[in-house]
Amino acid sequence: MATHTILIVEDDAAIADSIAYHLGRAGHRTLTASDGAAGLRLFTRERPDLVVLDLMLPQVDGWRFTEEVRAQDPDVPVIMCSARTSEHDRVHGLEIGADDYMTKPFSMKELVARVSAHLRRRDKERGRDAEGPIETAGLVIDPDQVQAFVDGRSVGLTPREFQVLLVLARAAGRPLARNRIYREAWGYEMMAGDRSVDVFVRKVRQKLRAALPATDFVITHYGVGYRFDPAPAAGSD
C-alpha cells in the first residue's frame, strides 16, 4: 500500500520512469507529468505529499511552477532536480520556495533518502503533540502553528524558514554550526558546499526585521555558524 503520493514533473521520460520506479519500490504512489502546465493541473487535482521537479520544462518552467505551487500550498515539500549546477540557480531555487536542490546526474538512492527525510519531517509536524511557544523580545515562535508572530500578526515564514528559526531558538543563545542546523531542520546531512542554511537564515532575518526592525534575532557567530540571541539592531535607540 502506498504511503505517500509523489508528483514527478520531468520532461525526460527515461529519468521520470527511473524516479517513479525507485520511489514506487520505496512504497510511494507516483504521478508523472512531462511539462509544467500538466504538472500544475495534476498538483491542483491530486494534492500530492511531495513534488520532484525538473527546472527546464516545456510550457511552464520549474521556476514558475514552484511559485504557482507555493501560492496554492506553502507546506508541500518541493525537491528541484536540474542539470543547472551554478550557485545562482541553487540559491534562486531555494529563495522562491524549493526545499531542496539536487544536481543531475544524481543517485536514485540519495533521491529516495531525501524524499523520505522530507516526508518524515512533514508527517512529524502534522502529527506531533502541541508544544509550547517560545516568547522573547516581542516575538512568539509557535510550533503548534508552525509560524512566528508579532502582536498576534504572522511574520509570514514558510515551513522551512520556521524550522530553521525554531532550531536556532531552541538552542537558546548557543551557537550552532551550519551542518547541525541543516541536520535538524532538513533531517539529513548537509552536502559539502551547500548554502541552504545561509539562504534560509537570510530570509528569516529579512522577515523578522520587517516585523520588528529594532531587534536582531539571528546573529552570525563567526567561525561557527549562527545563534539566536535577540539584541538591539544597529542604529536603533
pLDDT tens sequence across 101-148: 999 889 999 999 999 989 988 777 665 544 689 999 999 999 888 899
Helical axes 196-211 vs 159-170, angle rounded to 10°: 90
The answer to whether the beta carbons of residues 230 and 137 sit under 8 Å apart is yes
Look at residue 8 and give its three-state secondary structure. strand
Distance separating alpha carbons of residues 194 and 105, to the nearest angstrom: 17
Interatomic CA distance for residues 29 and 59, integer angstroms: 25
Candidates 176, 171, 181; CA nearest to 136 is: 171
Maximum CA extent, the chain: 60
In this prediction, residue 89 has a pLDDT band, given cuts at 50, 70 and 90, of confident
pLDDT band at 236 (very low <50, low <70, confident <90, very high): low
pLDDT of residue 128: 52
Cis peptide before 105 (omega within 30 of 0): yes
Domain boundaries of the chain, sorted by first residue: 5-127, 134-232
The architecture in CATH of the region 134-232 reads Orthogonal Bundle (1.10)
In DSSP terms, 6 is beta-bridged to: 30, 50
Domain 5-127: homologous superfamily in CATH:
Response regulator (3.40.50.2300)
Could you give the CA distance from residue 10 to residue 54 in angstroms, rounded to a whole number?
5
Answering whether pTM is above 0.75, one says no
Distances (CA, A) of 171 to 28, 139, 167: 35, 16, 7
Instruction: Yes or no: say if 68 and 40 are a contact pair by the CB < 8 Å rule.
Output: yes
> What is the tens place of the pLDDT at every residue in 182-205?
988 887 778 877 888 999 999 999
Each residue of 23-57: pLDDT tens digit? 999 999 999 999 999 999 999 999 999 999 999 99
Q: Residue 101 forms beta bridges with which residues?
A: 80
Count of residues for the chain?
Answer: 237
Instruction: Assess contact for 81 and 104: CB atoms under 8 A.
Output: yes
